[in-house]
Structure 1
Amino acid sequence: MKAVYCPYCGGRTKRNGRTSSGSQRWRCTACGASTTVRYDDTATRLDEFLGWLLSKDSQAAMPGGGRSFRRRTAEFWEVWPMPVPDGELHRVLHVDGIWVARDLVVLICCSGERVVSWYMARSENSRAWSALMSPIPAPEVVVTDGGSGFAKAVRETWPRTRVQRCTGLATSIWTIPGGTAPLP
């Protein structure tokens, strides 16, 4: 075991019984301060979580039906990966909000080839749209269905960008030689 040093004076410590919760107590031989040591195992638990996430295994196949695993890795379920826009300039971008749950909308920005960025919010409002658009270079044209707060956000974030409204089938894109065009 590694030597434990006093957090106050830096002196060596020795074992001095246990706390009421069962943790080892340490007493400094120099200043007499008492302390406990807590080991940070976050990296180990994250590694376990990612190992499961990227595997084909189910939690039901784990010992105890995965209950201990879920308890150990509970904090990592709250992590939402957010994309980092690459800074590429696009002529035309399409934006839309997809409601996943009652209080969760995913705002998506995509070019003709791929998703450029996304942002998760509780509602479609100008602040959420601005958070989606601000790290992306302003395009020439943005195509939108005119969701709540979008007009204000585009005026503030991309003031020189032209806005093309779309409805229903007009949002579909078909490929023509040399580019893309909206359906007639």
Structure 2
Amino acid sequence: MKAIIFDMDGVLVDTMPFHYKATRTAVKEFTNISLDKRTFYLLEGMPITEIALKILDLKWYGGPTKKERLCEIAEEISNKKKEIFARMNLTPQSFNGVRELILDNLRDCSKAVVTGSSKQEAQAVIENNFGKDKFKVIINGDDFEGKGKSDPSPYLAAIRKLNVVTSDALIIENAPLGGFKQLIMLE
């Protein structure tokens, strides 16, 4: 193995409960839907607009609604979720042992981060927890707008930028929609 590619939210840092809370609040503001954790976590990794569309498709009780209107509501939910999440003013911390793993145990391995978070969020989280230079490649949600999990494009871009072949790369991902063969780790 020559390279390890990490997802950020839920793998490197403990932010998923905050993403859930912000999404649940935004969904409730625009619909009569009470978003449960299970549904949210099963959709984890998708861009927020896609998550909102899936939730509306799965749980909408507002009667028949045209597809265009559902897309508008999904976009409103997405914007509101981002606003709520930004207002939380978080300083996400890495999971126990992750910082040491990155800084000490994987020194000789090329490392990348692939995240659906914005460039600004990703840079702040990575610099705060690991320093600027610990990851050779960072692919963020701004790089592949609209392409979340299970689209493999962001991971394949990281593999290309790391200059390795797929068989020499390990992807550590927590989202069920990761798009690759997975080793599932349970807490």
- TM surpasses 0.5: no
Query: TM-score, normalised on structure 2?
Result: 0.28
Higher strand share: 1
Query: TM-score, normalised on structure 1?
Result: 0.29
Higher RCO, 1 vs 2 (CA within 8 Å, ≥6 residues apart): 2
